[in-house]
Structure 1
Amino acid sequence: MLAVIFSFSKRGGLLNAAIGRFLAGIGCEAKCCTMPKFAGVCEGLTAVDDYKVVCAEYFNKADALIFIGASGIAVRAIAPYVKSKTTDPAVLVIDECANFVISLLSGHIGGANGLARQIAAAIKAVPVVTTATDVNKLFAVDEWAARRGMVIESMQAAKDFAAALVAGKTAGLCSDYTIKGALPSGVELAGSGETGMAVTTCKNKKPFNTTVVLMPKILHLGIGCRRNTPLEKIENFVLAEMEKHGFDMRCVKSIASVDLKKDEAGLLAFAAKHNVPVKFYTAAELQQAKGDFTPSAFVKSIAGVDNVCERSAVLASGGCLKLRKTAHDGVTLAVAEEPLIIDF
């Protein structure tokens, strides 16, 4: 995590450096910025001529922006760049006497609420969190999903889910995966109802009238193709198959294939376009995959193993097949899913 901290006074500079040391101690990178005349207050401070320029530079780069000073300073600095709770960084405001740590922006998905509590505990301040689910001590579906790297299919549905809990209503939970432990207060297992959440990789699964579809990033695509298959052909086939079976590309954690394809331009371009890492396995490694796979004598004569797409998907996932080998015009695809246990 990268945090950029701004301070505007001598006392603020001392607090700035202290918070920077705390964040470094828990494995975070901290850039501690202050006005040039206060940069010499202590070690670890960086002089900046215009904090607004630095704020503009890091708003879309940093995970958190922390302002030590008046809330108005922070509000005016970030105002031109605020876009969405799904993409904005966490923004915190702390008074220079370290009395309060205010979660100002992106409390749930951006993690500002949790970070405010962490820093407040470290500097012996009071965390100020104003989100409705938190002040009512209720389950925050967007925060829970964000911590687990899940995709929230509709932020409006998440908002409606939270509103139902705040109103004292019960929300349902439908999960494709094993649930461990107790459910959050106000949430019960259900297959239908007015409001609820569905944990699934199928974006079309909406058992409730208002369904928050939470999609875990646990799918792994095994892809094979003829030599020099262009990006467009691979993409058209893979996306069509994913749509056909209700899978969302945002759930894809990796693409896998045989090492003979490590220089396959179309495959590499497809992975890069969709920002998904690629893994390559040797024929010997693929042969060690556990499961029942679709054999092909032709594939074995080329790759040295009887199946590429299914075996590579299973190896990458450490789980089991969700979609067996499907093929079209020289491209093969299989989808595997890594194991997942839901724990609140």
Structure 2
Amino acid sequence: MRNKIAIYALTAEGAGLASILISKINADLFVLERYSSELSTSFTSLADLVSDKFSAYEAHIFIAASGIAVRMIAPHLKNKAADPAVVVLDQKGQFAVSLVSGHLGGANELARLIGDEIGAVPVITTATDCAGVPAIDLLARENNLVIGDICLIKHINAALLDGDQVAVYDPDGFLNISENDINFYLVDDVEMLGDLRCGVCVDWRIRNLAETVLPLYPRCLALGVGCRRGVPVGEILGLIRSTLDSNGVAVQSISCMGTIDAKSDEQGLIDAAEILGLELNFFSAAELDEIKVAAPSGMVMKHMGVGSVCEAAAMKMANATEILVPKTKSARVTAALAKDA
């Protein structure tokens, strides 16, 4: 099974350092052919190797000069939301430089981990870390919040760097901001954010926000789906999306999808979950029957042996005792939403 981190070594000394490093952290090691060993995979062209592996790993460690690493990764960089972490380590193991995706990709954290394991000095250059203030992108990552617009991060972090307190609308308390927080303060009306330099909205609802307000979406909703046999993926996605739109729910806040196990081979459901990037969970009729729904269906009981599929699946995944968005139906598909207890 492939690890999440790739290490590249170009010299004999670098290969030796890499062999020490992989005894400390789980990583796949790639070493220039003349220095390779049974612990590593050999390569002859670093450019070709990086081209093949860059998107396959969550993090990359180059034991090489920074310039080499920059030239290797430059053609493959997309944006801070998508790029993997990149750390550069000199072959003496003295410095671990966080080069790309310091916050969202975790390069700063990885550089510090390398420092802890082999004594290298972590080199962190992100402005908020240097200034000792929190970065909103890192806070979002730590609290499992989806960033709605990556381009707005700079406005929030700039305000924090200027010493300004940033207003936050967070009705469910996902950021856990206290009254004594010196960097953020809470507002109880989302409209207030539009009158300020910038702000943060933490909500599962779709909001009409000012252009300086950063939306963060908590992954706190469970999606239950039912369908007849052979329904195509387009019909399933159509109902899901119309259900979200009509109820003002952000798709980014859906954390999982579930149905009855009798549909475990239903290709439309499997494809829909994959397109939405959701884990698809299957429950037995007995498991779903344990969930008490407001209006069980006699028709569903007749065909599936349980009074509810979509509502019961949503509530079970969310560990909820009530439904957020009740069953919505098309000709052959049903969908419902529950909020994490």
Say yes or no: TM over 0.5: yes
Q: Which amino acid aligns with 1:200?
A: D
CA distance in 1, matches of 2:40, 2:339: 46
Q: Deviation digits for residues 266-296 of structure 1, max 9, x if unmatched? A: 323322332323222222211112x542222
Residues 153 and 212, structure 1, Cα contact 8 Å, conserved in 2: yes
Q: Which residue of 2 aligns with 1:281?
A: 283
CA distance in 2, matches of 1:224, 1:36: 53
CA distance in 2, matches of 1:236, 1:2: 34
The 10-residue stretch of structure 1 (95-104 or 223-232) with the greater mean CA deviation from structure 2:
223-232
Matches within 5 A, 1:205-220: 206=209, 210-220=212-222
Q: Which residue of 1 aligns with 2:80?
A: 85
- Report whether the alignment pairs 1:160 with 2:155: yes
Match of 1:32 among 4, 29, 34: 29
Q: Which residue of 1 aligns with 2:24?
A: 22
Q: Offset of 1:332 from its aligned partner?
A: 1.6
Structure with greater strand share of residues: 1
**Shift in alpha-carbon separation, 1:264–1:132, aligned structure 2, 3 A:** same
CA distance in 2, matches of 1:243, 1:272: 20
**Shift in alpha-carbon separation, 1:209–1:275, aligned structure 2, 3 A:** closer
CA distance in 2, matches of 1:137, 1:163: 13
Q: Which residue of 1 aligns with 2:166?
A: 171
Q: Offset of 1:205 from its aligned partner?
A: 6.0
Structure 1 counterpart SS, 2:23: helix
Q: Offset of 1:16 from its aligned partner?
A: 1.1
The 10-residue stretch of structure 1 (301-310 or 54-63) with the greater mean CA deviation from structure 2:
301-310
Structure 1 residues not aligned, in runs of 5+ = 25-29, 340-344
The count of residues paired between Structure 1 and Structure 2 equals: 330
Structure 2 residues not aligned, in runs of 5+ = none
Q: Offset of 1:2 from its aligned partner?
A: 1.4
- Report whether the alignment pairs 1:134 with 2:122: no
- Report whether the alignment pairs 1:321 with 2:323: yes
Q: Deviation digits for residues 203-241 of structure 1, max 9, x if unmatched? A: 3264x6622211122321111223333322222121111
Under a length normalisation based on structure 1, what TM-score does the superposition of the two structures give? 0.89
What RMSD, in angstroms, separates the aligned Cα atoms of the two structures?
2.0
CA distance in 1, matches of 2:78, 2:49: 18
Q: Offset of 1:181 from its aligned partner?
A: 6.8
**Shift in alpha-carbon separation, 1:5–1:269, aligned structure 2, 3 A:** closer
CA distance in 2, matches of 1:228, 1:6: 47
The 10-residue stretch of structure 1 (151-160 or 197-206) with the greater mean CA deviation from structure 2:
197-206
Q: Which residue of 2 aligns with 1:27?
A: none
Residues 203 and 213, structure 1, Cα contact 8 Å, conserved in 2: no
CA distance in 2, matches of 1:10, 1:229: 58
Q: Deviation digits for residues 224-269 of structure 1, max 9, x if unmatched? A: 2233333222221211111122223233222212223223333233
**Shift in alpha-carbon separation, 1:231–1:35, aligned structure 2, 3 A:** closer
**Shift in alpha-carbon separation, 1:170–1:209, aligned structure 2, 3 A:** farther
CA distance in 1, matches of 2:257, 2:168: 30
Q: Which residue of 2 aligns with 1:223?
A: 225
Q: Offset of 1:317 from its aligned partner?
A: 1.9
Residues 326 and 332, structure 1, Cα contact 8 Å, conserved in 2: yes
Matches within 5 A, 1:40-79: 40=37, 44-79=39-74
- Report whether the alignment pairs 1:113 with 2:108: yes
Structure 2 counterpart SS, 1:62: coil
Under a length normalisation based on structure 2, what TM-score does the superposition of the two structures give? 0.90
Q: Which residue of 2 aligns with 1:333?
A: 335
Q: Deviation digits for residues 105-163 of structure 1, max 9, x if unmatched? A: 00011100111111112111211111111111111111222234321001122111111
